[in-house]
Every structure is written in structure tokens, then in C-alpha cells.
Structure 1
Amino acid sequence: MDEHLGGLTPEQTRSLHASRKRVIDSIGKNMDLYGITLSIGHLYGQMYFENEPITLDQMSQEMGMSKTSMSTGMRTLMDLKMIEKVWGKGSRKDFYEVVPDWHQNFTDFFSIKWRKAVESNMASLQKALKELQALQASDPNNNTLQEITSIDGQKMNEALKYYRWLDRLIDSFESGEIYDLIPKEE
């Protein structure tokens, strides 16, 4: 909401809105690259410029989105830990605000996404390796089978090495150790 812009001329207000819109559009496009819809990216961008917590109704009205769409967007951003629900003095409505630490937003977003992928892919690879071992054991004298399953097993073990590395990378994001290697700009 722009009540705090009362001291600006109409030209200054237009210029400020154009500048903010450019950033909001950029945030939306950037989040779209990571699998978040453009509209949810725009919602986050719009909320980023709010200077106080805002209700679902206020955001819905400001962005011209249905309350249902707004609720879905807010829930997605909360699941990604990019916004949080806060207490609003004198109101029974839920208020929301952006978690302003972009480093933490990045860490949370990618940790959530990567961790799920790592766990799923490692489980698939481990199951496939057991299946290969059973296949090898089923016909130990078949040289062609042994060679093919051995090569496949090596490829799967290389993939497991990658996922274990990715798991450690996620750990370094979550612990903050990554910032020892690549410090945050002060």
C-alpha cells in the first residue's frame, strides 16, 4: 500500500512505481526460471516493497487477483519460507510479510527442492543397483550380462557420488558454511 507516498509529486510517484514494477517483473521472471509461476513471483515482488505486514484481502485487491489465487500464492511462498505469517495488532486476520534475507530465501528454496530430488534419485539408484546385483547373481556365467550390468553399475555409482556431493552442498547452504567460501557482500 502506498499511503506513505503522500509527500511525493505525481511524477515522483509514477517514477517510483515504474522502478518498482521493473524489479517486480524481474523477480517474477527469475522465479519462473526456478519453477515458480510468474504470478507468484510477482506476488513476492509486490510484497517485497510493502513496508508493513499485509493481509490476504489487501494483497488480493492490490494485485487484482482472486482471493483463492492469492491464498494459493501465499501458501506457496510460505512453504518456500519466503514469506511468513505475523501477528496483526487489533485484528483477527492473518498478516504476511516477506522474509527480507535473500540469501536465506535462496538457501531455503533450493534446499527444499534439491533435498527432495536428491532423496528420490538416490533411492531410485540404490534400488536399481540392488536389481542389477540380483540380475548378475541370476546368471553368473553369462559374460555379456555380467559386462553390461557391471558398466551400468559403474554409471549408477558415479551418479550416487554426485548426489552425495549435492547432499553435502545442501548441508553447506543450510549450515551457512557456503558463506565461508563465498562470503555475502556487506
Structure 2
Amino acid sequence: MSSDYETLEQSRDIMISAIAQTMVIYGVTPSVGRIYGVLYFASEPLSLDDIKTQVAMSKASVSNGMRELLETEMVIKVWKKGDRKDHYVAEKDFLKNFIAFFIKKIRQERNLILKAAQQVQPTLEKIAASSDDPQVKGEAIKDLEQMKDSYNYFDWTMRLANEMESGKIFDNFPKSSKEKEQ
């Protein structure tokens, strides 16, 4: 193995580690980040066995990590002629990855809160309308107002997510300054 190749591999290892560390910020484990990093620098699609060897993890752990990356659309399953195993490539557009991840998290947040709000809103409305305890009645009214404020927030975040998903957000926030100049 040439000295240049070893230096190249060391540089890639540093970048893979950095990618893994940054993915922790988004709630992804470092091991899943390493899997993505290996795929990001791969010159051809890799099988689970190929990835397992490079990240020194069990096949089950690689498979679980791959499932997570597929769900967030950071990795794509591809067919490789002459091989029955599944192969994978990384989505290398970081902006596309961020948008897909961000939109998924916005929708998860909205769904969790709205489901809880639908569950408690009738109870709060009943307390606000008929409680004999003025303090409890006032608290219920306050909680209902806060829920209405959260609906405004979720409306805004969904509009943001829809603009990101459609690409219309780039009308106001171009992907790069070079694109703006053209």
C-alpha cells in the first residue's frame, strides 16, 4: 500500500469521524454516522458485509443503522448486477439530507403534540366552562390559550416544511451565493 493511499485513508477517517460527530447533534448515534461516512466516501455501492468490515461492527448493528439511514433517506438501496446482496450508496447532498431530516422531525413533533392536544382539549374546555374553583378554571383557560398559540406555531412550521419540501424556500434563500449571482 502506497504512502499516499495511507494518507488518503487517514484523511477520510478524520472526515468520517467528523461526520459521525456532527450526526450526534441531530440525534443519530456515532456508529450510524460512521456507516454514513463510509458510504459517503465509497467509490461504489457497498453491501452490509463490506460496511461491516470497514466500521468494525456486527452485521446486526450495521443492518439496524442502515435501516435508520434508509428511513431518513440519507442512504439509497441499489441493485448491483451479478450480486444478490443489497448494496447501498450515500445521498451526498448534505442540504437534501438536512431538509429531509428536518421535515421529518417537524412532522413528528407536530403529530405528537396535536395528538396530545386532541386528547386533553375536551377536558380542559369542560373545566374552563364548568369548574366551581376559579383558580382551576383560570388555569384551564390559560392552558387552552397556550394550546392555541402552539397551533399557530405548528401552522408556521408546516408552512416552512412545505416550502422546504417544494423547493420554494430557495426563492428567498438560495442554496449558494453563486446561484444568486447567476
| TM-score w.r.t. length of structure 1 | 0.87
Which of 14, 17, 39 is 1:25 aligned to?
17
Given that residues 75 and 88 in structure 2 are in contact (C-alpha distance below 8 angstroms), is that contact kept between their aligned partners in structure 1?
A: yes
1:97 partner SS: strand
User: Comparing 109-118 with 27-36, which one deviates more in the overlay?
Assistant: 109-118
| TM-score w.r.t. length of structure 2 | 0.89
Question: 1:79 corresponds to which letter in structure 2?
Answer: E
Aligned residue pairs, count: 177
Question: How far did 1:144 drift?
Answer: 3.3
Which of 43, 46, 57 is 1:51 aligned to?
43
Question: 2:116 corresponds to which letter in structure 1?
Answer: S
Is 1:80–2:66 an aligned residue pair?
Answer: no
In structure 1, the partner of 2:172 is 181
Given that residues 59 and 70 in structure 1 are in contact (C-alpha distance below 8 angstroms), is that contact kept between their aligned partners in structure 2?
A: yes
- Work out the percentage of aligned pairs sharing the same amino acid: 36
Question: How far did 1:29 drift?
Answer: 0.7
Is 1:102–2:94 an aligned residue pair?
Answer: yes
Question: How far did 1:142 drift?
Answer: 4.8
CA distance in 2, matches of 1:28, 1:14: 21
Where do 5+ consecutive residues of structure 1 fail to align?
1-8
Question: How far did 1:68 drift?
Answer: 0.9
Given that residues 125 and 160 in structure 1 are in contact (C-alpha distance below 8 angstroms), is that contact kept between their aligned partners in structure 2?
A: no
Q: Alpha carbon RMSD of aligned pairs, Å?
A: 1.7
Question: 1:120 corresponds to which letter in structure 2?
Answer: L
Where do 5+ consecutive residues of structure 2 fail to align?
none
Given that residues 128 and 138 in structure 2 are in contact (C-alpha distance below 8 angstroms), is that contact kept between their aligned partners in structure 1?
A: no
